[in-house]
Structure 1
Amino acid sequence: MSSTAAPTEHPTGAPVVQLGVPLVGGSHHRASAGTAGLDASDAGRSERFSQVRTGELGSLHSWELVTAVDGPGTRMTTFLSGCPLRCLYCHNPDTMEMRRGEPIEAEELLARIARYKKIFDVTGGGITISGGEPLMQPAFVARILRGAKELGIHTAIDTSGYLGAHCTDEMLEDVDLVLLDVKSGDPETYKRVTGQALQPTLDFGRRLAAHGIEIWIRFVLVPGLTDDPANVEAVAEFAASLPTVSRLEVLPFHQMGRDKWETLGMKYELDDTPAPSLELVERVRGQFRAKGLTVF
């Protein structure tokens, strides 16, 4: 998996980006908001509330350029702050609360996105709006999606689907791809993993398919939590039922976010959970392949 290197700024144009090393705006660690290159809004409190309602202002945690990770080609992935889920394995718990983000105007972010259009055109990439949970800020996301489409840029959102009802049909017209995080196929397991209900994710997935929107499903494999064969089978059956699913990604659990939980003073319940073995990963991928899914 390759990604991009830190850009060299030039006063007369967009940064030159070389492939090979991950670039995170402002920081190589997502524990603090990496919003380098973006000017935070200096609007007063009451004005900010008004701008948030209209989508002119959003809470942005960080951004980065990556290749073949958050969609096709080279992507500018923007991580918005705020999430209604409390996933036990979250590796970016600092995105859970909107107050941890930086107030960034939609036009400011769109201007940054526009600087990478040539890269997107060459690599078949685009913009991916992630989080946190992007649909916590639907008006802001709608503005970014519309602005990106007006620029002729491929768009994707990375979402749990839990707040799918916040995504209007008009917004869906501006979405080319959805990275749908299906964290469990069993309602009780989903509740254990996230603290919330599974059904909204299922409903949103079906709605996306009905709109003909391409879907990549992501499933985090956690030993002792999401690896039960029946749970995996339920995810596989759901994915196979959606005609627009073009890819299913099995993401092995890792401990990379543990230190962030400790830094934030939050209890991390998976401290003793190991990464899945290669045998377990292959078994789960095999279950998905058995349903005719293209698995990564």
Structure 2
Amino acid sequence: MKKEPILAICYDFDKTLSPDDMQAQGYIQSIDYEVADFWKESNELAKNNDMDQNLAYMYMMSTRSRGKVLFTRDTLHEQGGKVKLFPGVDTWFDRINEYGRNKGVSVEHYIISSGLKEMIEGTEVAEKFTKIYASSFYFDDTGVAVWPAQVVNYTNKTQFLFRIEKGVLDINDQGVNSFFQPNQYRVPFRNMIYIGDSDTDIPCMKLVNTNGGHSIGVYNSETKDKSKVFRMLDEKRIKYYVPADYNENSQLEQLVKMIIDRTI
């Protein structure tokens, strides 16, 4: 029997599925920082020490929590549960999956984010993803975060697209470097959608675009700031831009349904 085609939808998280940075929706405030001050100090730490910006914010989260918040996996899950999502995200995945099934397309959803995996796992939609690729911590036997386990930045995000393409999803599986014939790809790039909001998504957007896939830039419909998506469209990083509205019959839903139709 002919196998159903798989369509992989890959999402950034902050300002793509959620209107703000996940750390700024409760955690930063819990350690007595103003949000702007936290990011300023984190960016200065990175700059002054030739440090990856994501490692810098993870270091800040860990060290500035001392004496204020028990920095554990449970704490991060709890904070993730407070993260707000854009309108319609809570029902988006089931609706898109159902449309795909009715058309003969198997839809899978992936997160590729510089945010924290443990916080995303605490959100109400965590179980909807086939895989969550994001920065994460190593936790000791007591559940306390003691060291970075994974750091995902804008350049190494692309490796996860190759993992999805080849079906080699385990981050430690070296099989991703093996040679594959084009007909062996589990999800060819033409069957991928990448949804993001900013410069950190550009390498993934460009990779998907140039290989026949579909990159979508989203913007906050409340602020109506389209400057980033206009620039990405002008630079041919994205093929489409729409509001970050995941409600039924939204522009984004209509666009993704058309891509599903094209896939089949």
TM-score after normalising by structure 1 = 0.28
More helix by share: 2
TM-score (norm 2): 0.30
> Could you say which structure has the greater relative contact order, defined with CA pairs below 8 angstroms and 6 or more residues apart?
2
